[in-house]
Amino acid sequence: MKINWEGVMPAVTTKFTEEGQLDLVMFEKNIEAQIEAGVNGIILGGTLGEASTLTKEEKEVLINNTLRIAAGKIPVIVNIAEQTTSEAITLAKRAEELGVNGLMLLPPMRYKATDYETVVYFQEIAKSTSLPIMIYNNPVDYKIEVTLDMFEELLKLDNIQAVKESTRDISNVTRIRNRFGNRLKVLCGVDTLALESIVAGADGWVAGLVVAYPAETVAIYKLVKAGRVEEALAIYRWFMPLLELDISPQLVQNIKLAEVATGLGTENVRAPRLPLQGAERERVLAIIDNAMKNRPILPAYKNI
């Protein structure tokens, strides 16, 4: 399946039972809700998916189940965030064998690589697979920035096609477009900057709160692309307190509480993460409760 690298792509959570095992029943319910809302792809094994806590076997289970649920309707993309280049290549090859449609690559983890090392890391993975690739550029959280000059080198490989743009600099969307035209697709990776990024020309949105509110997320994207910015902005303003839950070290716990509110998940996380406690838990629940009480009525966005 060809990936167009556009639209809304949820970075989905991994569902766990109270005993800490994969909760495939709730996982399937959530993926089905994403597809029904009109998302354009599913991304597995990101930060929100608690990838660092998953075994290789669990990752394969999630991949196989997502491919089954998606049934060729939308592409399935796997995040690569391994400790070594060799481990990253092994996972990339295995994902391709299993039938995954694309990859998202983080820079080297647990090591602040130089620009040269980072480029070589991405190149080696890209050369090991025929799958299309999106580079995750998040210098705020991962301390490594993929600069435009680095992308100049990376784009010599045809299967490096997109960037999850999370520099927090809206003007970077325009810089990328000016330098590379449509050769490098741009997907906003920061929920609180999504509408602005799409207006600036971003092709898509790798979203977090979408796992709890898929219809609202897709509606915003489609309305903006249709030029109906005022309608999108009304939904976005309602959404903003929720979207801010994504820019937190506890984004997984926050977003899982939102999934509970909409019936699309549980708050079970895998240690060392623990469910929110005390005043912080009450603060987050108050934000979610207020949003649920004022949830907007959406236009018929699927027909736009």
Q: Give per-residue pLDDT as tens, 140-163.
A: 998 999 999 999 999 999 999 999
pLDDT digits (tens, 9 = 90+) for 195-205: 999 999 999 99
- pLDDT recorded at residue 110: 80
3-state secondary structure of 80: strand
Give percent of the chain with pLDDT exceeding 70: 100
118: Cα separation from own chain's centroid: 21
- Residue recorded with tokens 């999108």: 232
Q: What is the mean pLDDT of the chain?
A: 97
pLDDT digits (tens, 9 = 90+) for 211-225: 999 999 999 999 999
Collect all residues with Cβ–Cβ distance below 8 Å to 99 and sequence separation of at least 6: 67, 76
206 annotated as a binding-site residue: yes
Extract the tokens encoding 213. Answer: 């509110």
Structure confidence at residue 292 as a pLDDT band (50, 70, 90): very high
| Residues across the chain | 304
| Helix H or strand E encompassing 187 | strand 185-188
Nearest CA to 186 among 238, 151, 215?
151
Output helix, strand, coil percentages for the chain, rounded to the nearest 5. 50, 10, 40
- pLDDT recorded at residue 1: 86
pLDDT digits (tens, 9 = 90+) for 21-64: 999 999 999 999 999 999 999 999 999 999 999 999 999 999 99
The correct CATH number of 7-303 out of 2.40.30.20, 3.40.50.300, 1.20.1250.20, 3.20.20.70 is: 3.20.20.70
pLDDT beyond 90 at 133:
yes
Q: At what angle do helices 85-98 and 56-70 cross, to 10 degrees?
A: 30
Map out the domains of the chain as residue ranges.
Answer: 7-303
Q: At what angle do helices 85-98 and 115-127 cross, to 10 degrees?
A: 30
Tell me the mean pLDDT in the region 116-129.
98
pLDDT beyond 90 at 118:
yes
| Helix H or strand E encompassing 283 | helix 278-293
pLDDT digits (tens, 9 = 90+) for 17-29: 999 999 999 999 9
3-state secondary structure of 298: coil
Side-chain-facing half-sphere of 238: CA atoms under 13 Å: 20
DSSP bridge pairs for 79: 104
pTM for this structure?
Answer: 0.97
Report, as residue numbers or ranges, the catalytic residues.
136, 164
- Residue 35 φ/ψ, nearest 5 degrees: -65, -45
pLDDT beyond 90 at 13:
yes
DSSP bridge pairs for 135: 105, 163
- Judge if the upstream peptide bond of residue 272 is cis by omega within 30 degrees of 0: yes
73-106 burial: b if 16+ Cβ within 10 Å, else e? ebbbbbbbbbeebeebbebbebbbeeebbbbbbb
pLDDT beyond 90 at 83:
no
Residue 113's CB is within 10 A of a number of other CB atoms, namely 15
- pLDDT recorded at residue 109: 80
